[in-house]
Amino acid sequence: MEKRIAILGSTGSIGTQALDVVRKYPGVFTIEVLTAQSNYNLLIRQALEFLPNVVVIGNPDYYPFVSEALNSYPIKVFSGEDSISQVVEMDTIDLVLNSLVGYSGLKPTLNAIRAGKDVALANKETLVIAGELVMQEAIQNRVNILPVDSEHSAIFQCLAGERYDSVEKIYLTASGGPFRGKNRSFLESVTRESALNHPNWKMGDKITIDSASLMNKGLEVIEARWLFNLSPQQIDVVIHPQSIIHSVVQFVDGSMKAQMGLPDMRLPVLYALSWPIRIPSELPRLSFANYPQLTFETPDREIFPNLDLAYFALNKGGNLPCILNAANEIAVGAFLNNRIGFLAMSLIIEKCLEIIPFIDYPSYDDYVQTNEITRRHAGEIIGKY
């Protein structure tokens, strides 16, 4: 019953934590494929430890280093973005963990589904961009999409043994990020470094900025809409600064179920890898003595307009969530490069939602095109700053 796993994005935050989990369960999980975009040194070290059948280095410039370092091992080495999309189709893979960042995750997810692989999905952008298409394909191909995002893992765990039509609504919890309670004049001048300093979670740069701007929660609302087949009105957000309750389901009889635990991504990763069973772990346990108070607040939608932008995109549908995501990726990149300020990110996204042509029922090719046009347009707006 060994589960053979492909990890896309193995050198990133989720990828390295997933390997921490896999390392603890020899004979239960084996690594079949590892892929990385550019961190070839770490990819080589991971390959030497886990001896996968295949590694892929996305950036072809680094191919010679990886190939040379692994040439005396029975490990095939490929390079290029297309190889990352293709490698998920290998017969020997049971489960694909997609921990790529942003739009680049979409094609590999779709290919994995079409090849009949279960997907442990950490790449929420896949569902934000093309959730309807992805879930249709998952149903057609009879594969499971297992959420790795902690909030969605929480909902998924609360729903175990329940009927989906018993759900009245869900609450996604949000820590509020490093700028919770701040006003707009404070946000006007915040630095990249202070935005990267998340109070509870250690994550990659892109998602950490998304958390500070509440865009992460906006993307997660859209992700939840498709994962659990809910209407936008059934999805609510509550600020919970301690990040102990990971999300809540409210049922039609008024009963609520919450899933709790320390904020440690290895737990939702382990659940996605071991599903449908639970396996014992030595991950740190929560002590109630350390958390005498769990508190809840309403998000401030005026100071953090991204949440409403995401609901707007979700309600209108079509290619708007794809526009939202593409504009956000470019805006976050520009903020990380100190090209624009924190508040400019929302303005750029709003402008793109207004200007990029709306498509009611987009095909896959429409998503590809919308993504390209939006990125170009957002780049032009940023050029004027």
Chain contacts with Mn ion (rule: CB under 5 A): 149-151
Tell whether the torsion through CA atoms of 153, 156, 158 and 161 is positive or negative: negative
Shortest spacing between CB 357 and Mn ion, in angstroms:
31
The phi-psi region of residue 178 (left if phi > 0; otherwise alpha if psi is between -120 and 50; otherwise beta) is alpha
Q: Which is nearer to Mn ion, 137 or 151 (CB)?
A: 151
Shortest spacing between CB 150 and Mn ion, in angstroms:
5
Residue 109: which of 329, 92, 129, 208 has the closest Cα? Answer: 129
Q: Which is nearer to Mn ion, 149 or 329 (CB)?
A: 149
Amino acid present at 342: F
Shortest spacing between CB 151 and Mn ion, in angstroms:
5
Q: Which is nearer to Mn ion, 83 or 150 (CB)?
A: 150
**Concatenated DSSP letters of 47-97:** HHHH--SEEEESSGGGHHHHHHHTTTSS-EEEESHHHHHHHTT-TT-SEEE
CB atoms within 10 A of CB 244: 18
CB atoms within 10 A of CB 324: 27
Q: Which is nearer to Mn ion, 11 or 208 (CB)?
A: 208
Q: Which residue has the tokens 């020899």?
A: 26
Residue 148: which of 113, 118, 111, 103 has the closest Cα? Answer: 118
Give the residue nearest to Mn ion (CB): 149
Residue 123: which of 135, 96, 146, 105 has the closest Cα? Answer: 105
Shortest spacing between CB 251 and Mn ion, in angstroms:
22
CA atoms within 13 A on the CB side of 384: 8
Q: Which is nearer to Mn ion, 112 or 215 (CB)?
A: 215
Report yes or no: 121 and 151 within 8 Å, Cβ to Cβ. Answer: no
Shortest spacing between CB 170 and Mn ion, in angstroms:
13
Q: Which is nearer to Mn ion, 13 or 370 (CB)?
A: 13
Shortest spacing between CB 160 and Mn ion, in angstroms:
19
Q: Which is nearer to Mn ion, 32 or 149 (CB)?
A: 149
| 82 phi, psi to nearest 5 deg | -65, -35
Shortest spacing between CB 142 and Mn ion, in angstroms:
27
